[in-house]
């Protein structure tokens, strides 16, 4: 069984990581794709969150909002993870040492957990209330928490750029 450190070191010293690290064009390019996809992830999730809070799209049932947005969110999330992983391996050890990077990953997991709890518990009786302009408290809580978590993800992401050692 390999140590996690060795595992990460393997990627960090791959030809791909070298290329991203040393090419002046590649890092900004991947970073731009990362920012673009995160914007779409957060923007599309916000549509659902604001609906759960009863603040926007209130005349449209919640399940239809979710169905309309789902493909965009997950597609953009897949691109964000792929581009983020490429940025990560270019300087893996330093990123793992960065508190904001670790916090960002934890916050993303919490946002996922929040979503899972909503779908698993709060949304059990979705058909009963999904057309209400203001959803019940657990749903509003999930929406508010989601906004808070994603804003924190973006904040940590921006702070990583200011706290990484200059290459």
Q: Which residues bind other proteins (CB under 8 A)?
A: 24, 28, 31-32, 35-36, 38-40, 42-44, 46-47, 56-57, 60, 64, 68-69, 71-72, 151, 154-155, 158-159, 161-162
If the CB atoms of residues 56 and 103 are measured against other proteins, the closer one turns out to be 56
CB of 128: closest distance to other proteins in angstroms?
A: 21
- Between 44 and 146, name the residue whose CB sits nearer to other proteins: 44
Per DSSP, the residues of the chain read ---HHHHHHHHHTSHHHHHHHH-TTHHHHHHHHHHHHHHHHHHHHHHHHHHHTTSSSTTS-HHHHHHHHHHHHHHHHHHHHHHHHHHHHTTHHHHHH-HHHHHHHHHHHHHHHHHHHHHHTGGGGHHHHTTSSS--HHHHHHHHHHHHHHHHHHHHHHHHHHHSPP-
Closer to other proteins at the Cβ: 58 or 102? 58
Nearer to other proteins by Cβ, of 36 and 81: the residue is: 36
Beta carbon of residue 32, minimum distance to other proteins (angstroms, whole number):
4
CB of 158 to other proteins, least distance (A): 5
């Amino acid at each position: 069984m390999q140590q996690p450190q060795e595992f990460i070191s393997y990627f960090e010293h791959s030809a791909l990581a070298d290329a991203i690290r040393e090419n002046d064009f590649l890092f900004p390019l991947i970073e731009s794709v990362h920012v673009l996809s995160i914007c779409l992830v957060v923007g599309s999730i916000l549509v659902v969150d604001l609906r759960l809070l009863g603040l926007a799209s209130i005349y449209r049932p919640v399940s239809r909002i979710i169905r309309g947005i789902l493909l965009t969110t997950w597609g953009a999330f897949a691109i964000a993870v792929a581009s983020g992983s490429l940025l990560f391996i270019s300087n893996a050890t330093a990123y793992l040492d960065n508190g904001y990077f670790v916090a960002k990953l934890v916050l993303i997991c919490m946002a996922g957990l929040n979503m899972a709890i909503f779908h698993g518990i709060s949304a059990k009786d979705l058909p009963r209330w999904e057309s209400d302009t203001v959803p019940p408290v657990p749903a509003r809580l999930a929406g508010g928490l989601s906004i808070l978590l994603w804003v924190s993800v973006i904040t940590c992401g921006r702070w990583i750029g200011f706290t990484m050692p200059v290459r």
